[in-house]
Amino acid sequence: MAGVLSFFCIFAFTSFFVISKAVKPFEKNEICRPEKWLIEAGASIGLDFSNLIHETTNEFHDHSLKRHGNHQLHGEATITGADFERIPAIVRAPDYAVIGAIRKETLINAYAKIDNGITYLYFEEVLSSRKNKSLRGKTFYKITRPISLDEFLKNVSRNKKTDISKAIFFKQKNVQTAGGYPGG
């Protein structure tokens, strides 16, 4: 009986390790420091971004590809590995931005950049704890056409999960949108 029990325990122990998945270590990737316009916009609503850093993580990358990277579901709006290279330009000079919104009790910033008829949307959470001081990427996706500021705001506050009532909105001058006219 002891031999059978011993075999069962060893089998169960080894089966546990064979079945369990390997966990990837958490990795952070620094993008850049916040631009002056972002620091000033945050300060205007009582937020201090001056000591934070834009960053992404492997979890952000995996989430964005898993959620928005399936070509069969998203067609031309599929996020690819090459799209991640656009993030520095998006946070440095977005066409639209919402600074200081609240989504599920988390402070976030959202950015949109229109390039070659495609709108890229990048969302980050504001982390200002003792251990984490960053503007960390949460999700990233694209829309296959230029969008207006109103469409961007609707997208950010979709399903009423995000409160933008106390946020500040940023718009670059002369943004080319779907209407074919700057700003409209």
Kindly list the domain boundaries of the chain, sorted by start residue.
27-171
* pLDDT given for residue 63 in this prediction: 73
Residue with tokens 């989504």: 103
* pLDDT given for residue 177 in this prediction: 46
* pLDDT given for residue 26 in this prediction: 77
What does each of the 184 residues of the chain score in pLDDT, given as a tens digit? 555 545 444 444 444 455 556 667 778 889 999 999 999 999 999 999 999 999 998 888 787 777 666 667 666 777 888 888 999 999 999 999 999 999 988 999 999 999 999 999 999 999 988 888 999 999 888 989 999 999 999 999 887 788 898 898 988 865 444 444 444 3
SS3 120: strand
Enumerate the H helices of 85-181 as residue ranges.
Answer: 87-92, 149-156
DSSP classification of residue 129 = S
* pLDDT given for residue 67 in this prediction: 67
* pLDDT given for residue 94 in this prediction: 96
* pLDDT given for residue 74 in this prediction: 66
Q: With a threshold of 0.75, does the pTM exceed it?
A: yes
Enumerate the H helices of the chain as residue ranges.
Answer: 2-19, 36-44, 58-68, 71-74, 87-92, 149-156
